[in-house]
Structure 1
Amino acid sequence: MVNITIIGAGVHGTRIANKYKKFKNAKLKTVISRGKPKDAIFFDVPFFSSAIGWEKNFGKPDKRDVFDISVHQDSIIAVMEDFIKIGAKNFVLPKPIAITKKELSQIQYLAHHHKLKILVASQWHYSKLVEEVTSFVKKNKSKISSVDVVFSRSFKSPRKESYTATTAFLPHILQILFDTKLIKGKSNFVVENSSDNSIALRYVGKKNIHIVSNITDVKKTEIVKIFLNGDDKPALVANFSGILGSGGFVKYPSITIAKKEHQVREDVLEKMISSSLKYFSGNGSDNNILTLHRYLPIAKEEIRIVEHASKLVVVIGGGIFGILSALEIAKKGYSVVVFEKASEIITGASLVNQCRVHMGYHYPRDEKTARESRRTNAIFERFFDKAIVKDLNNYYLIAKHGSLTNPEDFHQFCRKLRLPYKKSWPVEANLSKEKISLSAKVPEKIFDANVIRDILNKKIAMTPNMTLLTKTEVVGIKKNSDGFNIIYKTGKVQKTVNCGAIINAAYGNINHINSLFGLPLNTYQYELCEMPVVKTPWSKEGWSVIDGPFFGVMPFGFSKKYLFYDVELSVLERVVGEAPNFKFDIPYYNDEKRRMRRFDNYKKKWAPYLEDIEKCQPISSLYVTRVVLPKKEKTDARPTIINEVFPGFWQIFSGKVTTSVPRAIELGISVGKFFKRKK
């Protein structure tokens, strides 16, 4: 006879008490609970509130006494220690037994030091359903392409306050995946999303295994689907969600293979308890019994997932700086989620600019920006080689009147920074030599932003630990005990994710994102800019008149179209403050009549310099909110600034695009150092 003490008279404790009472070789000796249990099953069972009460009534436990712990995970060790003090040797622990390495080490120490016999309660480990799935996996091992596992249902209060997605269903999922040999210890996984209510992760390798555990979903789902040979329809569906009634199962779990479904008629809790009783009575084989030793790989995997989820990094903003930073952080082994408000990446300032691979020529009054551009342009070109437009004749022109830089200043500037140039005039564009004092042909190239988008999308697809969510807006950021809680919306659906670090790469919305977390806001100069897309009579030639209220044209990447930019006319509105509170929005400015009137202004202003302006035909316009530092008119400085504005919270003030690659590398190093400090 095995004497059972139930510790914890909640939902699980009550359920297993009912099961134990069905076995003749088990006696429900007592129940330990903070308050007197209300369920009828405990009516004739002695009740105590502590291990001391147990000892006063029964004395020291003997080898027939088994203590089935049915309390929340964070109380397991304390309960074990209390009962070990009175001599308890036999325990059944609930899953998960631990969610930190420290907790698991403590349990292992207690087991070894006190020579304990410990089983882990995991009903699916003993089920016929798992046996059938295991058999299918074994037969089709080489054919399995992917596996989907979803365990979800809505937890109501107060149960919801006692569980998270990682402590409710994830332990069951891992048990099933380990038992069926679909995963092994230290398999590579990616955390796609993690919050108290939901966790989604993906094991990557020859077969992709996607896991979801959710305690807020209205629909009850406990399903494993196995796909073969890349098919979009599952070859096996195992439904673990049997429906329990007062007298047992109303609906049994089922398995469907080749469209043939059958129910698996068994009570897995009773099967588990039967095996446990045989183990503790010494009457049965322990070949399949889930001892602490056998459960350790699963416990370690749970801990690995919890630790990895706590180091999830969220990047807000899908421009070049945001995506490159995300890729670099992912290289360090961290899971990264990128939130992008638009329908695709590289749509803002990364796209709407003249796409120069700046070497520094553009900034003769700000040596720091020029040197930074000179130092980083080659790195950018190597990284985005296929996006670089190399077949280009590019010129910088100094105006005779109104320029803040004269030819001698420009010459000295280029000489100092070792910027090569050749005195030469554009061949195709008919520019007035009466208006220009110097025309310098330079080896500066441009990039095609659309090709860069393609390159980055391919890199994202090849980075398994990076998740991109487009059409997604961050609407709230809070601090939690181990990092941050981010509230976001995709369409009308609002969700949350917990993360260990945040990268604010939202560019024009940098202050807005900071405000969601209550950070001090900075004053910036916001400029609503227009860049006309134009059909021109020339090709493979670009030029810019500097350094003042002038203008320039550049090919729009590899296309035959051109982008026009005018220092005065392209800035539709300018606001200095904490937010881009413009008078009018883009739809207002994009009205065709208004757009054509504005292009007429380009023609009038440019005509004295460019005779061909009358041959140029506007096609459309691109718009963007540009953000620059205020009061920098004297130098026109455009630095890239990365600050850790709060521990684990970085913001990127994006400068010249050529700095994006090395700055992303620097940020990746900073994030790695931050997580190492947190250990």
Structure 2
Amino acid sequence: MGAGRFGHNHLRVLLKLERKGLCKLAGVAVKTDKHRQELMRQHSIPIFNRLSTKLLQSVDGVDITTPTPTHFSLVKSILRHTNILVEKPIALNSNQIAIIKKVSRKSGKKVMVGHIYHFHPLVRRLRSIIQPMGVPHFISARFLYPEVKKIKWDALFELLHPFDIVEYLFGLVPRGGIRTNHNNWISTSIFYPRKIKGVFDIGFHRSEKVRTLTFHFKNISVHCDFAKNIIEIVKGKKTKTISCPSKPEPLQLELETFLKILRKEHQTYPDIALAQKIITGMEKIRSFRTNRKPKIAVIGGGIFGATAAIELGKLGQVHLFEKRSSLMEEASFVNQYRHHMGYHYPRSKETVQESQEARPVFEDVFGKAVVRHFPSFYCVSHLKSKISAKKYLTFCRTNHLPFVRSYPPHNLLDRKKVSLCIKTNEPIYDYQKLKKIVETHMKRRKTISLHLNSRVDKGFLGQDGKKYLWVTKKGREYKMPFDFVVNATYARMNAFAHWFDFPLKPLRMDLVELVVIRLPIPAIALTIMDGAFPTLVTTGEPSLFTLGHVRTSLRKSFVPSDGLVPEWKLPKSNWKKIVSECQNWFPILRFAEHVESRFVIRAVNAYREHDDARPSDIIRHGFGCWSILGGKVITAAATANSIAKELKQILDSSNFSS
């Protein structure tokens, strides 16, 4: 039954099976004369506008591929006479399935539900791979299909595949969860038994089909891409890729199973009980319940956390927690204050594009902190550079980065060491002015409560969706509930993931020494590209500069398996060696006066040495939680806007408490 896309596909395979002698096709039932005429022109088989009782009683089974809202009524009426294969979902709620179950029991007829991923070669291969691994602690899925005309029924039930696959692999269905509706697609945060959590995005949202499923175990993640028919097993920096066959096609295996059921051959198949189990579990995923002005926690008072608090203060009551006595005292302070336009990342188009898109958003909020009107030079080394002069020029032109070919004075740069030098107008930001602007915004926003000297030690996710944080201040510990939490602790971001049992983000931890020097020259910035080379940048204060070297400023570096910040002791300053190494490029450094050395633990995406990408990542944990890995300060405002937009979407989809 049915002449849509699914119906035509089922008919194609059934005709193939008929040619093999596995079945006899009695006919096709369609709703309209138009479809009837089309099928009659294409096939020499009986085409019906309706199914009579006599016809139903004369066949062994009916294959229903009609639109989802018709499934319940058709199954209920046909099941009295014959066996059925029906496309999923069998019905749109568990009450309807219970009625079908009674009809099946009374008539003695069987119903097979078209949970087609039970027959997918990738899923069957996956089952054998993950069985020895036990159960994952977190599951993420994205089943998003090209936009269609808005459907009038629940897209979550229409595309229940991820729930079906999880049940097939582990026998588990949701025991609770939160859903957010976005037009034709739904994002879900799911509580499974055995403390397993899941985040599924399902529906009609993209121009291309995306079907991915990832299982996170303790030290391994297993990623499945159904569009590419591959399974990737990721452990640290090693990835093992397994290609799965696409033949025989899942639909053929499904229909062959139905034919075996009709022949009364013993078969395990997706039946009414399974369909009822899955739908009942999915019904427990409900809209978030919160106040109209929710309580929001932001952990970390650096530039990213502070900017997020300012933006989120428009939506609710924000509590910003900072363990130090003042804002912006760590990575926001130990920084070269470069207002990135893109010149610095010739091997990462992603970082360049992100910086360019974020620039006007940042300047709209913090523009008064931007310092211009000084020359910023980028040079390409003659030797051991990862990019040639020619390619660097092409990179600048391709990305519309303005420049002129020019050199600074001889006493500032050893020209013999470089094959190219360009002069740009890339600014910096004044740290003190930026901090003052942040503090002014915080004071004006009455919905923000700033908690300084307050350390968040742990967290817990309640079944009601509330996030509970344990905060220590002046030796006393407080437990505080929140509707939403933004984690902006930078290098310490994975501690948050440990608290809530979210997947860890692979990070490389770098202990970096940044040298502050005084020089008798005007404001300038000098950077050698692209490798283990130096950079000298004005701070905006007269004669004061920051100096770093890719190799000698890096004191320690490694990727911790637990994702946590190592307990490194602060080393002795290496400033003399750093200055000496940089002086080979910048002769003026023989006049450098050492002011201080600043140390910071820098966190970057692990295993990205090939392109040195430094995007600002938003990790969407689900359950009303986000983490920010700030790549570049220039992206702070755009990142805050993105999270605020997502949170507003959740609020628009929520049920509000009275």
- Give the alignment's TM-score, normalised by structure 1: 0.52
Q: 1:319 aligns with which of 294, 298, 302?
A: 302
Partner amino acid, structure 2, of 1:648:
G
Tell me which residue corresponds to 2:218.
none
Query: Residues 309 and 337 from structure 1, CA distance in 2 versus in 1: closer, same or farther, beyond 3 angstroms?
Result: farther
1:533 aligns with 2:516: yes
1:521 and 1:663 map into 2 onto residues whose CA distance is 20
Q: Report how far residue 398 of structure 1 moved.
A: 0.8
Alpha-carbon contact 1:575-1:582 (below 8 Å) kept? no
Partner amino acid, structure 1, of 2:557:
R
Residues 396-545 of structure 1 correspond to what in structure 2 (within 5 A)?
396-427=378-409, 429-480=411-462, 481-545=464-528
Alpha-carbon contact 2:371-2:540 (below 8 Å) kept? yes
* Offset from partner CA, 1:148-184 (integer Å, 9 cap, x none): xxxxxxxxxxxxxxxxxxxxxxxxxxxxxxxxxxxxx
Q: Report how far residue 479 of structure 1 moved.
A: 2.1
Tell me which residue corresponds to 2:338.
356
2:440 and 2:322 map into 1 onto residues whose CA distance is 17
Tell me which residue corresponds to 2:358.
376
Alpha-carbon contact 2:504-2:563 (below 8 Å) kept? no
- Give the alignment's TM-score, normalised by structure 2: 0.54
Alpha-carbon contact 1:337-1:466 (below 8 Å) kept? yes
Q: Report how far residue 672 of structure 1 moved.
A: 1.4
Alpha-carbon contact 1:428-1:538 (below 8 Å) kept? no
Query: Residues 443 and 395 from structure 1, CA distance in 2 versus in 1: closer, same or farther, beyond 3 angstroms?
Result: same
The structure that has the greater radius of gyration is 1
2:626 and 2:411 map into 1 onto residues whose CA distance is 45
1:629 aligns with 2:629: no
Q: Report how far residue 428 of structure 1 moved.
A: 7.8
Q: 1:585 aligns with which of 548, 560, 569?
A: 569
* Offset from partner CA, 1:529-586 (integer Å, 9 cap, x none): 1101111122211111110100101112335311111101111110202345546422
Q: 1:569 aligns with which of 552, 566, 583?
A: 552
* Offset from partner CA, 1:372-405 (integer Å, 9 cap, x none): 1122223323321221111321111111111111
Query: Residues 535 and 422 from structure 1, CA distance in 2 versus in 1: closer, same or farther, beyond 3 angstroms?
Result: same
* Offset from partner CA, 1:637-669 (integer Å, 9 cap, x none): 111111221310111121122111112111101
Partner amino acid, structure 2, of 1:640:
S
1:346 and 1:583 map into 2 onto residues whose CA distance is 22
Q: 2:347 aligns with which of 365, 375, 379?
A: 365
Q: Report how far residue 519 of structure 1 moved.
A: 2.2
1:428 and 1:467 map into 2 onto residues whose CA distance is 52
Partner amino acid, structure 1, of 2:645:
I
Residues 136-285 of structure 1 correspond to what in structure 2 (within 5 A)?
none
1:656 aligns with 2:656: no
Query: Residues 472 and 352 from structure 1, CA distance in 2 versus in 1: closer, same or farther, beyond 3 angstroms?
Result: same
Structure 2, unmatched stretches of 5+, are 1-288
Q: 2:584 aligns with which of 567, 586, 608?
A: 608
Secondary structure at 2:626 match in 1: strand
Tell me which residue corresponds to 2:651.
675
1:338 and 1:464 map into 2 onto residues whose CA distance is 13
Query: Residues 571 and 385 from structure 1, CA distance in 2 versus in 1: closer, same or farther, beyond 3 angstroms?
Result: same
Q: Report how far residue 310 of structure 1 moved.
A: 7.6
Task: Count residues in correspondence.
Answer: 365
* Offset from partner CA, 1:333-364 (integer Å, 9 cap, x none): x0000011111111122221111110100011
1:555 aligns with 2:522: no
1:429 and 1:342 map into 2 onto residues whose CA distance is 41
Structure 1, unmatched stretches of 5+, are 1-305
- State the superposition RMSD in angstroms: 1.8
Alpha-carbon contact 1:326-1:466 (below 8 Å) kept? yes
2:614 and 2:300 map into 1 onto residues whose CA distance is 19
Tell me the percent identity. 26
Query: Residues 580 and 570 from structure 1, CA distance in 2 versus in 1: closer, same or farther, beyond 3 angstroms?
Result: farther
1:347 aligns with 2:323: no
